Amino acid sequence: MKKAKKQEEEFNEELLLKPLPDRKVLAHFHFRSSASLSTSNGGHHHLFPKAISQLVQKFRVKEMELSFTQGRWNYESWGGFDPIPSSNAKPPGVELWAVFDVPQHQIDASWQNLTHTLSGLFCASINFLESTTTYSAPEWSFPPASGNLRYGTLPREAVCTENLTPWLKLLPCRDKAGIAVLLDRPSIYRGFYHSQRLHLTSTGSGSEGMVSGIILEQTLTVVLQPNSQRAGMAYASERHIQPSWSLTSIFGKQVSGTCVLAKSSNVYLLLDRGLVAELEHLHKENEKSAENGFTSQNFWTKPSFELSADPDRIFIEENSLHSKGSSVLYKFQVEKYSESEPFDLSLTWKIPVVWLSQQAPLHASRFLMGSGNERGAIAISLKSTQLSEGFMGANADDERCDLQVNVFQVVPWYVKVYFHSLQVFVNQQPKAISDIIEKIHVSPSKDKVSPGVMEMVLKLPCKVNSAALTIEFDKGFLHIDEYPPDANQGFDIPSAIISFPNFHASMIFLKDDSVNKSPLLSKFQEKSPVMSYTEALLVPLTTPDFSMPYNVITITCTVFALYFGSLLNVLRRRVAEEERFLKEKAAKKTGRLSLLLSKLSAKLRGRQWEPPSSPPASSSFINAKLVFKVILVAGLAVGWQYFFS
């Protein structure tokens, strides 16, 4: 990768298409721009986005990767061993990691500034990664391991076109010309998986750590369903044939030329190992029956499917360690096509074919155990994929054959993990931790300061069938203003990373100039460990009743009002004066009618009439009379109403 000589700026655009076993198509866009950072131009570039170069220079970023993902990579049917899944399958939401070339004490500050810059650049809430509770510093389990690494994820970040547009702005032709024309928003967001990634590498020139060159790789991986599938479902005979597709049918657009600024502009079609093996098998059967001898040379030019355009080159994977055959790559150069004759690759299957993608040695899944709001447990279960037996068979005969698995897991602080409760089960038998875990690094979480980080190296026997790790946790309580807006949904635990350092996801093609020229193919040849992400988890925590403060305020105000009202009333009232006032009033009001009535009632009761002796009594009598009057009137009204309706 090191570009020793002073290079001019370069831009390459490539697209890789790959049929997937479950009737879907993978499209992987790969754009690479590189620039040398010299002060000769005064910090200006021809092609390279200036924002990125400024960012690299300012924060001294050595390597950085930012990915926006929607949907999940289906490791079981889309494969987990090839370079594409192991470097492009990302957890849902935003993932950001960066390596800095600054002294230890400045790293956190650089990271925080970087998150804010990226947040502005990509219209995303990456700035939430600023808080120390959201990012962590893995020591060695994350593959580009280095002490200056910071890693953070936002599992709940929604990905949309507003994140894609700034990403496209970094390309010299945007989506106006070249392969990027295919990026039709409705079709790429209709897919089953959508991951947009930005990878930065800067190469220092040694002295004073000055940045001399930057390589910016922008990839977009989408998994799409060809449209023709539904129509074909009706016919039973067609159901077994994989759907045929073309660029127009999956993207609704076609390539009408290259981006003129691009140095190379290629489209590749990749048939993975399983598919090739299956095709070869079918081919052999055909050969037996038909006896018309294809040689292995023209097998690839007359395969069981039809391409609308002739490939310019065919690459066959050179060294397949695996029994499974080797993958085949067709190369199409877009330069040959123009506005009048647009490039529209289409693939039509002729015979039904069923294959399986190559899996990572172990399939990892993670889930929560337990119920209730008090405690729970996280379990990581690793299941052997039977397919891996083939390439593990070579060294499986040894007595001590180990399969190394690295686990990296970040847990937010409110999920209080008890690291002593770690349990390991291999083949459904509990094992001592020291037997299985070779190396472990734990940094416990600090409340409201930092998340808990667990890094582990597991040594499992090669013939392992299943393994499981469980670790218990208590659910913590948050302060009321620490709850996110949708607190009742639950809280996310970001994906764990499972990597297999003994296995390298690489495809080595025949040594050729053209392979080295293509950034995508040279990327494939890099030896990177197989990696997979587990599911993000959702932990329901206790949430307070958020309307409670309102209720409390209301009831407190009511109580205060009652208290102060009555207190003031008592303080202000002069009792004696009031009584005197009432007396006067009563004396005035005892008219003749009341006297008559009281006399009458006294007669009716057969007692001697007493004149109203005490004014309070008479006042109560008046009140009773008033009430009586009111009732009488109301009764009359009721009767009136009832009678006339």
Distances (CA, A) of 290 to 241, 275, 285, 351, 353: 21, 22, 9, 15, 19
Residues 492-511: x where in contact with other proteins by CB under 8 A, - otherwise, as a string: x-------------------
Contact range with other proteins by CB under 8 A, out of 114-122, 160-168, 293-301, 634-642: 634-642
How many Å apart are CA 131 and CA 469, to the nearest integer?
Answer: 29
How many Å apart are CA 396 and CA 390, to the nearest integer?
Answer: 10
Decide: is 354 part of the binding site for other proteins (CB under 8 A): yes
Q: Which of 39, 297, 429, 613 binds other proteins (CB under 8 A)?
A: 429
Structure token digits, residue 626:
């008033």
How many Å apart are CA 396 and CA 540, to the nearest integer?
Answer: 43
Decide: is 85 part of the binding site for other proteins (CB under 8 A): no
Minimum CB distance to other proteins smaller for 179 or for 410: 410
Contact range with other proteins by CB under 8 A, out of 3-11, 141-149, 361-369, 517-525: 361-369
Decide: is 613 part of the binding site for other proteins (CB under 8 A): no
- If residue 355 lies in a helix (H) or strand (E), which one and from where to where? none
Residue 428 identity (one-letter amino acid): Q
**Closest to 541 (Cα-Cα) out of 596, 474, 586, 587:** 474
Decide: is 23 part of the binding site for other proteins (CB under 8 A): yes
How many Å apart are CA 627 and CA 524, to the nearest integer?
Answer: 96
Decide: is 419 part of the binding site for other proteins (CB under 8 A): no
Let me know how many helices (H) and strands (E) the chain has, helices first.
18, 26
* Residue position matching structure tokens 């008046």: 622
Size of the site for other proteins (CB under 8 A): 58
Decide: is 93 part of the binding site for other proteins (CB under 8 A): yes
Interacting residues of 379 by C-beta distance below 8 A, sequence separation 6+: 366, 367, 368, 369, 468, 469, 470, 471
Q: Which of 45, 51, 71, 335 binds other proteins (CB under 8 A)?
A: 71
Minimum CB distance to other proteins smaller for 370 or for 390: 370
Q: Which of 292, 295, 488, 613 binds other proteins (CB under 8 A)?
A: 488
278-286 — which CB contacts under 8 Å span 24+ positions? 278/353, 278/354, 278/355, 279/303, 279/304, 279/353, 280/325, 282/351, 282/353
Minimum CB distance to other proteins smaller for 395 or for 489: 489
Smallest gap, in angstroms, from Cβ of residue 103 to other proteins?
Answer: 37
How far is CA 27 from its chain centroid?
Answer: 20
Minimum CB distance to other proteins smaller for 152 or for 191: 191
- Do 208 and 224 contact (CB within 8 A), yes or no? no
Q: What is the CA radius of gyration of the chain?
A: 38
Contact range with other proteins by CB under 8 A, out of 102-110, 118-126, 135-143, 364-372: 364-372
Q: Which of 342, 501, 540, 615 binds other proteins (CB under 8 A)?
A: 540
Minimum CB distance to other proteins smaller for 140 or for 189: 189
The phi and psi torsions of 332 (rounded to 5 degrees) equal -125, 130
Contact range with other proteins by CB under 8 A, out of 119-127, 128-136, 335-343, 351-359: 351-359
* Residue position matching structure tokens 């390597």: 63
Decide: is 538 part of the binding site for other proteins (CB under 8 A): yes
Q: Which of 76, 108, 318, 344 binds other proteins (CB under 8 A)?
A: 76
Decide: is 386 part of the binding site for other proteins (CB under 8 A): no
Contact range with other proteins by CB under 8 A, out of 504-512, 514-522, 533-541, 563-571: 533-541
Decide: is 379 part of the binding site for other proteins (CB under 8 A): yes
Smallest gap, in angstroms, from Cβ of residue 363 to other proteins?
Answer: 9
Query: Any idea what the Cα angle at residue 589 is, between residues 621 and 591, rounded to 5°?
Result: 85
Q: Interface with other proteins by CB under 8 A: which residues?
A: 20-23, 70-72, 74, 76-77, 92-93, 155, 190-192, 194, 230, 239-240, 352, 354, 356, 365, 367-373, 379, 381, 383, 423, 425, 428-430, 468, 470, 486-490, 492, 535-540, 543, 638, 641-642, 645
